[in-house]
Amino acid sequence: MTEKVALITGGAKGIGRAIALDLTEQGWSVAICYRTSEKEAKETLEAIEKKGSRGLQVKCDVSDPKAAEGFVKEVEKEWGRIDALINCAGPYHRVNILDETIEGWHSMFDNNLHPVFYMSRAVAPGMKERKWGRIINFSMANADKLSAQSEITAHYIAKAGILILTRSLARMLAPHGITVNAISPGFINSGSAPEEELAKMVKTIPAGYVGNLQDAVGAARFLLSEEAGYINGSNIHLSGGWGL
């Protein structure tokens, strides 16, 4: 295949945007979706097209299963295929578990865990038909430790659930030439956290520094490659040793 198609949720900014632009440089066509970041989505689309690749931006709330399925169908209708799904969407809020609201609790699962299932389920048939596919899900460093997280409890449980979902999908899709893997970032300077907050965390990172967008891009690039075809159900810690 000389040209592949990637679909990236949360691709308007941060890690999703960085991966989109990197794939563009490799000749991929890239479709991104956004929920509220319209300005950033337009800028990302312009950057994709400026590099000479095909781009598509769609306003879509992937926490809605019908909307998620519709996004997949729109991309497949437009370009005929989806070779890679990268699930980057995943907001969080910080609140003590005893002060969490019912709405806030549900929102963490609706926006982090459930879309990974909705989107993976929707792209799987096409990938199975072509006997090739890549799915990358984003969890978080230390989610596999199942430790107490009193301030981000629902978010943390959702991210731990992504690891279980990743392994389950990998097992089911491996016979069809499809890999499903997770990347678990620690502290990455992606533009979503204040610089001063990241600076305070450096002392907790064994590597001694905060990661950057290119660290995430490199991990995703490898998992999407032919060289990673035998890696399935894995979880890459992208944390400089934090969370181990």
Work out whether strand 29-34 and strand 235-238 pair parallel, antiparallel, or are unpaired. unpaired
| CB-CB contact of 44 with 67 (8 Å) | no
Give the DSSP H or E segment for 238: strand 235-238
pLDDT in tens, 126-137: 999 999 999 999
Closest by CA to 166, choosing from 188, 181, 185, is 181
Tell me the pTM.
Answer: 0.96
Confidence at residue 228, expressed as pLDDT on a 0 to 100 scale: 98
User: In order of start, what are the domains of the chain with their CATH numbers?
Assistant: 5-238 (3.40.50.720)
Q: How many CB atoms lie within 10 A of CB 96?
A: 10
| CB-CB contact of 85 with 136 (8 Å) | yes
Confidence at residue 1, expressed as pLDDT on a 0 to 100 scale: 43
Mean pLDDT computed over 152-162:
97
146 vs 197: which has the higher pLDDT: 146
Of the candidates 34, 118, 156, 230, the residue annotated as catalytic is 156
pLDDT in tens, 67-115: 999 999 999 999 999 999 999 988 889 999 999 999 999 999 999 999 9
Separation CA 76–CA 71 (nearest Å): 9
Cα–chain center distance at 117: 12
| CB-CB contact of 220 with 136 (8 Å) | yes
Mean pLDDT computed over 208-234:
97
User: Active-site residue 230, yes or no?
Assistant: no
Separation CA 29–CA 106 (nearest Å): 34
Separation CA 46–CA 17 (nearest Å): 12
Instruction: Kindly indicate the confidence band of residue 217, based on its pLDDT and cuts at 50, 70 and 90.
Output: very high
